[in-house]
Structure 1
């Protein structure tokens, strides 16, 4: 069979991990018997060496200007140099040209800015690194930017959140091209987590939220985090804080953008995700330890937040799997 030609677009101040997560995953798939195999190349302007944002130099393998399709996959890397790349008409023009000759197109991290500049994301739901989501949404209002998932696939165009999420997107491509077993074998070979579903949040709940500025909210959040199995109704939290339910709800919405009940549900679901991935506890036990009354209640909350049931999440995330 003919090889699957994959081109990664690099430029000065690209993020090396954005590139390496893709290339190493695909080459590992080849070593494990991918058929047809992947022919992977890094294309840079003039095929010259680029200085990555880590300061390391990466030699381009192909000239971006001379690459011709048809391609299987075109992937644009991200990095601190994404804005300069998006403002370079030669880079943007060749990305636009190659996208027309590719079966699928993707970006990693801020590489989405280059795809946007090429008009390839218009009308699509996309993601990028959460640090840059507002910047992308403001610059390109015709795009729907969702900063939460680690990757999004909208038709033939995929966007990944950044850095190691490139690994998850590439594993998804391998599974699509071949099968789940090869994707799992690649993940094992790379000594990484089994492939995360794309709609998994980029950050855990308690690292994602800014520290509450209101002292009552901050105290309530700290209590919730360490007492997930306690009575965490708005009534109980308000009584503990010495304020009315209505007042506490207003404080939570002003400070965290969500009501206390929603915050508690998300906190319990996030804790359950950690236990599902890191232990072999039965789902019913996970539910009990995280404050859910039944396994079904946990399942409903999990599907609502992650778009996948607990059993499927564990199958793809478990760090205890052999």
Structure 2
């Protein structure tokens, strides 16, 4: 019998807890009793804890009374994970991890592990909207921005919210084989392996800075005229700069090269058209500035891991 413990704290995301726990619970329907997952919840406080959606949850016992060994110790995300500090939890976690075979986080639960010093030297991930914050907060961790979940030695971390289900299915597949994980996925009406990673959910471009500078003026012109042809030289001319100076300032201010910006802008434009219209692929490619469906398809596969048609099917 394998034990899975989920640590709860005020303002945790209920689905981060319930999704993975349901995977293990459904797996128990297919397993012999001696192979069941034993599910335990541990709370940072005695009594009930309020989730971020307002529901109350009663943990099995507080962390301060816990000294058990677990096969898997998990931390959910939620506003409490990245907005609050729980010193007692941060002090308890390193010892608890030493007693666990594996440990991990769902979504922004990675911030709790980071504050406990448990991400340093590991490859990890979190919800796409918080990867930059995780990178800045824990520079000794190697943060992957696109994967649904990441396994590195005894640590497993997942992307946002429902990615915890993907992660739990991977754990079941490792523990009991792919066939059982597939059976669980069918019961839950989810796929075993998603097409593409987290990038398909996140915009490739951040919002253009509000300041009026030569760089932002060039950016805004490109965004408003994506169907035109561009080179770095042309974008530099829009900013009234030399090509070399423009490229250097652009990379410094935007954290990508001018051509990377152009490519990402075109992909984001195409994604919006695919999500909100029934325009033919040729029209989408033209309006986004790709010039051809083939070029658009190639860049979608490279950046998002799926074709424009697959993207439209999943998000329209």
TM over 0.5: yes
SS of residue paired to 1:23: helix
Q: 1:62 offset after TM fit, Å?
A: 4.1
Distance 1:56 1:301, change over 3 A: closer
Confirm or deny: 8 A CA contact 1:29 1:186 kept in the other structure. Answer: no
Normalising by structure 1, what TM-score? 0.69
Corresponding residue of 2:230: 232
Equivalence map 1:90-239=2 (5 Å): 91-129=89-127, 136-137=134-135, 140-146=138-144, 151-174=149-172, 176-177=174-175, 178-179=177-178, 181-182=182-183, 184-185=185-186, 188=189, 195=194, 197-198=196-197, 200=199, 203-206=202-205, 208-211=206-209, 213-214=211-212, 217-218=215-216, 220-222=218-220, 224-225=222-223, 228=226, 230-238=228-236
Confirm or deny: 8 A CA contact 1:279 1:320 kept in the other structure. Answer: no
**2:314 is the alignment partner of 1:319:** yes
Distance 1:295 1:184, change over 3 A: farther
Tell me whether 140-149 or 286-295 shows the greater mean CA deviation. Answer: 286-295
Distance 1:236 1:111, change over 3 A: same
Distance 1:274 1:161, change over 3 A: same
Which runs of 5 or more residues in structure 2 are unaligned? none
Q: For 1:276-303, what per-residue CA distance to the aligned partner results, in whole angstroms no more than 9, with x for missing partners?
A: 9999999999878851668488547744
Distance of 2:213 and 2:8 partners within structure 1: 46
Confirm or deny: 8 A CA contact 2:145 2:198 kept in the other structure. Answer: no
CA RMSD for the aligned pairs?
Answer: 4.6
Confirm or deny: 8 A CA contact 2:169 2:192 kept in the other structure. Answer: no
Distance 1:17 1:133, change over 3 A: same
Aligned length: 307
**2:56 is the alignment partner of 1:60:** no
Confirm or deny: 8 A CA contact 1:105 1:158 kept in the other structure. Answer: yes
Normalising by structure 2, what TM-score? 0.70
